[in-house]
Structure 1
Amino acid sequence: MPLPMFRCRHPFRAALVAVCGLLLLLCSASAAASVTIEIRGVEGDLADNIRNHVGEPPSSDPLVVRRFAGRVNQRATEALQALGHYEPEIRVERRREDDRHTIIIHVEPGPAIRITRVDVQFRGEAADDSAFQSLRDRIPLREGDRLHHGRYESSKRAIRNLALTRGYFDGAFETTRINVSLRNQEAEIVLHYNSGDRYSFGDVDYTDETLSADLRRRLVPFEPDDPYHSDGIAALNRNLLNSDYFRDVRVRTHQDRAGDERRVPVEADVRMNRPNRVGVGVGYATDVGPRVRLNWRKPWVNADGHSLSSEAEVSEVRQSLSSTYTIPLTPPLDHRLQFQGGWQREDIEDTETEKLTAAIQRQRVLTRGWTQTLFLRWEREKFTQAGDRGESTLTLPGMSLTRTRSRGGMDPTWGDRQFASVEATHEELGSSIQLSRFRLGTKWLRTYGRHRVVARADGGAVISESFDRTPPSLRFFTGGDQSVRGFRYQSLAPRNEDGDLIGGRYLLVGSVEYGYRIFERWTLATFYDVGNAFSDLDEDFREGAGVGVRWSSPVGPIRLDLAWGVSEPDTPFRIHFSMGPEI
């Protein structure tokens, strides 16, 4: 069959396309050729600095390479001088084999200039500032060291940055000098900095004054006329963002308006958050089955920053409704007073309860991330436990300490959680019974490359002479997704003569889990859980073990486990499904 013939209607355009194609081919051929830079005679930081200063030719064209090689000697000399070798001997050799070019730099660095004297002085108010004295001790310039121009420049930057951080906005170097003696191979470094006067914080002005002046003042982590420090500005920005009162925050300083008093005005450019926020969540866990959660939050109720939140949850075994009214104290983000109320109904295994609660609590953030909560809780609970009906009214004062740390967002790669609480009551407080209750728990997550380890331990005790009248919510049950896998939710506890669960006085649970990440978002896991709820501490533990898979989904971590109650041979394996972060 004859080949079809095509006629070009635009010969000039065709010629242009051909020329462009030819240029592309030439560029490709030029790119295919290579230029190798070899450095001989030195290694380590000297060789690295020469390579960085010399660079590479922009192309392998012979003329370009020749011109590049002509500048190598000067650039290599500058690189060595920057590291204290002022009299190097350098020879540049250029070789070519077909399209491969090699530039060989032969280096004899010569003797190094050594620092014999370092004179760093601060004048002005910085002379009495301990931060500058500490910086002088850390400056990487020491007598006897090889002269290093990079460290000299970084020392100057460190002084300037510290001055700006601490509010010495008029500071300047009076002297910056390196005196080099080639005859003696010695250098003296002189850095004299005059900081001038230190500026102080001025007033903080908000662009939105919906909140009261008193609350706005308490959100500021510094006082007017305190010495200026940039950390104070960063802390103010964090406070405003974390307060939940504002959706947009931008903090600015105006050094140009400081005036003769050197007081720096601060402007907090803010936009108030939405007055009402509503959220709906749908989830599933084998412990409670499908669940729906509805929450409503009002970030501020009044100009004093009081807030209100409510939450409702519905699942097959649990229904609850709760509300919290929060009053910020001082400091408002770390100290708060809360009033709480709620209703909850549960029907789990051999337990049916309906509970009303009311509480007042004071929360304070302590050092190192710990949160202390002092509370007084009133609760009335109607219950049926193993067929026995009961009703209790308790007034429980108590205290808890908690700390949660995590890194890695919704699916943390590092974190831990600690929890401890104690609560007690007596008939003289209007309670039906006398009891004391203690809880202690910890959980740790660590990741090492593809390997991940999760460990947790929980314990508790109830001390009461009227345990049969103690409401189920204060007894101990275990088993399920978050405790001993391989057993039903809250199915591990002492039983009565009929085999019905009655709950335990004591709780001891431990777990260790190892995971290996096989893909970016997928991890295989194996685990071992042990524990029980006891009437006496000499009773037997229950053990569960199994394997699982973890998926870091866009909506959060999802866990699927196959677990066996290995301490109970007749117990079939169970599937455990849960969602949410490990910590």
Structure 2
Amino acid sequence: WGRAESAFSLTLMTFIGPLVVPITGWIIDHVPLRPLVLWGVLAQSINLAAFGFMEGSIWVYYLLVFLLMFTAAGPSILTLAKLVQGWFDKSLGRAMGILFACGAIGGVIHPLWVQAVISQVGWREAFMVMGALSLVIAGGVAWWSVYQAGPATGGDGPASSSAAEAPLATPMSMAAFLRDLIWWKLALFNMLFAFGTGAIYRHFAARLQDRGAAPAQARELLQTEGYFDAVVTAKREDGRPARVLVQVVPGERIQVERLLIDTEGPLQARLDAHDAEALGVAQALQTAGKLGAGTPFRNADWAETKQQLLGRLRAAGYASARIAHSAADIDPQQHLARLQVRLDSGPLYRLGELQISGLVHHDAETVRHLAGFGGGAALTEARLLDYQDRLQKAGLFERASVSFEPVADQAEATVVKVTLSELPLQQATLGVGVSANTGPRASVEHTHRRPFGWAVSAYDKLEYGRTTQTWTGDFYSHPGEGFYRNLLGVQISRVVSDTDVVLSQRLRLGRTQDTPRIERLYFLELLRSRQADAAGVSSAEAVSGNYHWVWRKLDSVLLPTEGVTLSLQGGAGQAFSRSGDDGPFTRLYGRFTGYLPLGAQWYGQARLEAGQIYKNAKVNVPDALGFRAGGDDSVRGYGYRTLAPKDSAGTVRSGLLMLTSSVELARPISAALPSVWGAVFVDAGRAADSWVGFKPALGYGVGVRWRSPIGPLKVDLAYGDELKKVRLHLSVGIAF
């Protein structure tokens, strides 16, 4: 028998029980209690023992359950209540309360005890034990209570007890009530009766053991996994406790022959009109599900596929989409499954207006600009999530939520709720850190998100380290049309190396645009650079127009394992110098980084970086525009910015071109520490003035990475092939 078939017995009890109780009450009022209790105990004991001899049809099981509802009525709680009524008058309520309390105690104990009996001797023998126990304990106590109580417990005719008809002359006190031996006999009977027999109503073990539930259940489970012609047999083995051996031959698995996906509603109407956007949605549905032609059929995968299709349609803007019909036609002979889903798209939801809440200092216009779409735009999941992401990254809001309620009647002009929580107007941050490139450092940052009431963010950062000191001041307008911001930036930096000191000042005026995939920055820059070394002091200035472009496609911006990034920079301008000729120049730079999972918990990373300045040989450009290599995130195994040309005095200076590359393999050190990775790497490259005779410096080594919530923290031990030395590279920082 299947679990559903055998569990129907509990449903049978639920429906029959309420019908039996009134009949039991009528019998108690018209039948002497003594024979009712004694014969009821005997009938119930026989009924319980009969479960242990069941064979054949499940209807035998249903019949025994049906009879148990009646045989258990004789020694039921109603009969005991009738006896109590004959013994007590003013204390009747307390007597009934304690009677039911003792029954509850037995009800708590007996499930554990009965389960132990089933585990030790098997379910058949357990039913026989329950029947015998009911006869011995409950029958003995019932006989004792009925006959020792005298005439008050019942007479020879219906309701003939004189005590039941004549109340006690003097009401009993609680103390006297508890000292009455009759009560304790009755309470003991109720508790032992529940202990001995009540568990049967909760532990119908026949549906859990070798009455056929195991084979049927196994077949049902195998069908959910795609095995529809499985052969399951069960054999009972001798011994104590009883054991059942279930043998399963699954047979051939069902394969999906086809998955037919149909649509109805507004989406189908747009498809009939050859709407390009609707055609894209329909094509996306064809690849959305986990199941497809040739895949093994599983019930769980079928359910998941339907939800994936529904989710894909809702994500496309049809928020009221539902499954109108689905069917799985299983052909056990051919071992094929023909699947069909028909989706009712419901209306396409479009933006009516933005309902913005939570603004205190900032303008609603800024929030609307960050949407990037206007009235009538389809409310797709990607569009709303991108909007929410832009709000959170705008630097103005601590939290942002974008949502709407799908109301079909308002689909053409849906109200989108934008709930915001602003960041503080001013914020200060202190930071400390250490790097193998620049040594220890400390920093102070301050941000004002609306100085003088202007829609501008002001950012200042002062960083002081052993080899680098920098002050940066930027003013960004709040996002406008197309996500663009206006920019005014100032930077003064001082970089100290073993051979020189470079002081540079920059002034930038331009515009920037940030989108989830692409960042753009174009600006006019004034740059002055002053280099001091053993040979003296040289300086140069430049004015240039520049364009920076960054493209990302990563699984995670913070901790990427798959994807690519590409950064390109281009600039052209005029250089001015006292030590050389004035003249035009062009500067180009590019950097590509790729991440690729290799399988078996191995992850690869590769980087290629190149740059060059084009100018007349006699034109001097500011040193800050040139290129240097070496150190973290460049060529490990060498000092920071040391892989560059040297002048006649041996002083390192910036080169006119640069080429570096890196290949790294990493994997988790152990399953217990998935965020700690070990790595091996090879770096190569340098900066130079000419490609003629260019020879990259080589560095290689091993390292450890901790993929922390704030980004990867790295410790590398690298060997510089040119220096024949090992160098430790450390990059770690914390802000508070």
Q: TM-score range by the shorter chain?
A: 0.7 to 0.9
1:278-302 deviation per Cα after TM superposition (whole angstroms, max 9, x unaligned): 2222111232221112212234447
User: How many angstroms does 1:190 deviate by?
Assistant: 8.0
Alignment-derived partner of residue 538 in structure 1: 692
Decide which of 340, 349, 353 is 2:489's aligned counterpart.
340
Alignment-derived partner of residue 703 in structure 2: 549
Does the 8 A contact of 1:205 with 1:267 survive in 2? Answer: yes
Does the 8 A contact of 2:552 with 2:566 survive in 1? Answer: yes
User: How many angstroms does 1:544 deviate by?
Assistant: 3.9
Change (3 A) 1:260 1:361: closer
Does the 8 A contact of 2:528 with 2:622 survive in 1? Answer: no
Alignment-derived partner of residue 3 in structure 1: none
Alpha-carbon distance between aligned partners in 2 of 1:318 and 1:514, rounded to the nearest angstrom: 31
Alpha-carbon distance between aligned partners in 1 of 2:602 and 2:259, rounded to the nearest angstrom: 51
Unmatched tracts of structure 2, length 5 or more: 1-104, 123-202, 272-277
Does the 8 A contact of 2:227 with 2:250 survive in 1? Answer: no
Decide which of 722, 728, 735 is 1:575's aligned counterpart.
728
The answer to which structure has the higher strand fraction is: 1
1:105-144 deviation per Cα after TM superposition (whole angstroms, max 9, x unaligned): 5679899999999794624554324357447756899999
Change (3 A) 1:401 1:351: same
Alignment-derived partner of residue 413 in structure 2: 263
User: How many angstroms does 1:364 deviate by?
Assistant: 3.3
Change (3 A) 1:390 1:251: same
Decide which of 52, 65, 70 is 2:212's aligned counterpart.
70
Comparing 309-318 and 243-252, the one that deviates more: 243-252
SS in 2 for 1:127: helix
Alpha-carbon distance between aligned partners in 1 of 2:726 and 2:293, rounded to the nearest angstrom: 71
Matched, 1:364 2:513: yes
Alpha-carbon distance between aligned partners in 2 of 1:348 and 1:420, rounded to the nearest angstrom: 27
Decide which of 230, 237, 261 is 1:95's aligned counterpart.
237
User: How many angstroms does 1:272 deviate by?
Assistant: 1.1
The TM-score, its normalising length taken from structure 1, stands at 0.73
Decide which of 420, 427, 449 is 1:277's aligned counterpart.
427
Matched, 1:486 2:637: yes
User: How many angstroms does 1:234 deviate by?
Assistant: 2.8
What does 1:171-320 align with in structure 2 at a 5 Å threshold? Answer: 195=345, 197-210=347-360, 211-256=362-407, 259=409, 263-301=413-451, 305-320=455-470
User: How many angstroms does 1:323 deviate by?
Assistant: 1.1
The answer to which structure has the higher helix fraction is: 2
Comparing 192-201 and 167-176, the one that deviates more: 167-176
1:176-235 deviation per Cα after TM superposition (whole angstroms, max 9, x unaligned): 678999999999988766555444333211112443232222222432333443444333
Decide which of 510, 531, 551 is 1:383's aligned counterpart.
531
Q: Which amino acid aligns with 1:263?
A: A
Alpha-carbon distance between aligned partners in 2 of 1:423 and 1:485, rounded to the nearest angstrom: 28
User: How many angstroms does 1:423 deviate by?
Assistant: 1.8
Alignment-derived partner of residue 511 in structure 1: 662
Unmatched tracts of structure 1, length 5 or more: 1-15, 34-60
Does the 8 A contact of 2:230 with 2:248 survive in 1? Answer: no
Change (3 A) 1:209 1:70: same
Comparing 428-437 and 212-221, the one that deviates more: 428-437
Change (3 A) 1:29 1:456: farther
Does the 8 A contact of 1:215 with 1:304 survive in 2? Answer: no
Alpha-carbon distance between aligned partners in 2 of 1:529 and 1:185, rounded to the nearest angstrom: 56
Matched, 1:423 2:571: yes
1:85-115 deviation per Cα after TM superposition (whole angstroms, max 9, x unaligned): 9898765434355557334256798999999
1:436-468 deviation per Cα after TM superposition (whole angstroms, max 9, x unaligned): 222222333445445444433322222333557
Q: Which amino acid aligns with 2:493?
A: Q
Q: Which amino acid aligns with 1:279?
A: T
Does the 8 A contact of 2:349 with 2:413 survive in 1? Answer: yes
Alignment-derived partner of residue 398 in structure 1: 546
Does the 8 A contact of 1:394 with 1:432 survive in 2? Answer: no
Change (3 A) 1:388 1:147: closer
Change (3 A) 1:438 1:70: same
Alpha-carbon distance between aligned partners in 1 of 2:325 and 2:269, rounded to the nearest angstrom: 16
What fraction of aligned residue pairs are identical, expressed as a percent? 17
SS in 1 for 2:440: strand
Alignment-derived partner of residue 128 in structure 1: 270
Q: Which amino acid aligns with 1:543?
A: A
Q: Which amino acid aligns with 2:405?
A: H
Alignment-derived partner of residue 627 in structure 2: 476
Alignment-derived partner of residue 615 in structure 2: 464
Matched, 1:443 2:593: yes
Does the 8 A contact of 2:215 with 2:234 survive in 1? Answer: yes
Comparing 356-365 and 511-520, the one that deviates more: 511-520
Change (3 A) 1:304 1:77: farther
Change (3 A) 1:94 1:272: same
Does the 8 A contact of 2:656 with 2:687 survive in 1? Answer: yes
The TM-score, its normalising length taken from structure 2, stands at 0.60
Alpha-carbon distance between aligned partners in 1 of 2:217 and 2:449, rounded to the nearest angstrom: 62
Q: Which amino acid aligns with 1:335?
A: Y
SS in 1 for 2:475: strand
User: How many angstroms does 1:268 deviate by?
Assistant: 1.6
Does the 8 A contact of 1:245 with 1:300 survive in 2? Answer: no
Does the 8 A contact of 1:212 with 1:303 survive in 2? Answer: no
Alignment-derived partner of residue 246 in structure 2: 104
How many residues are matched?
Answer: 530
Alignment-derived partner of residue 559 in structure 1: 714
Does the 8 A contact of 1:544 with 1:563 survive in 2? Answer: no
Superposition CA RMSD, Å: 4.9
Does the 8 A contact of 1:390 with 1:469 survive in 2? Answer: no
SS in 2 for 1:266: strand
SS in 1 for 2:634: coil
Alpha-carbon distance between aligned partners in 2 of 1:66 and 1:512, rounded to the nearest angstrom: 60
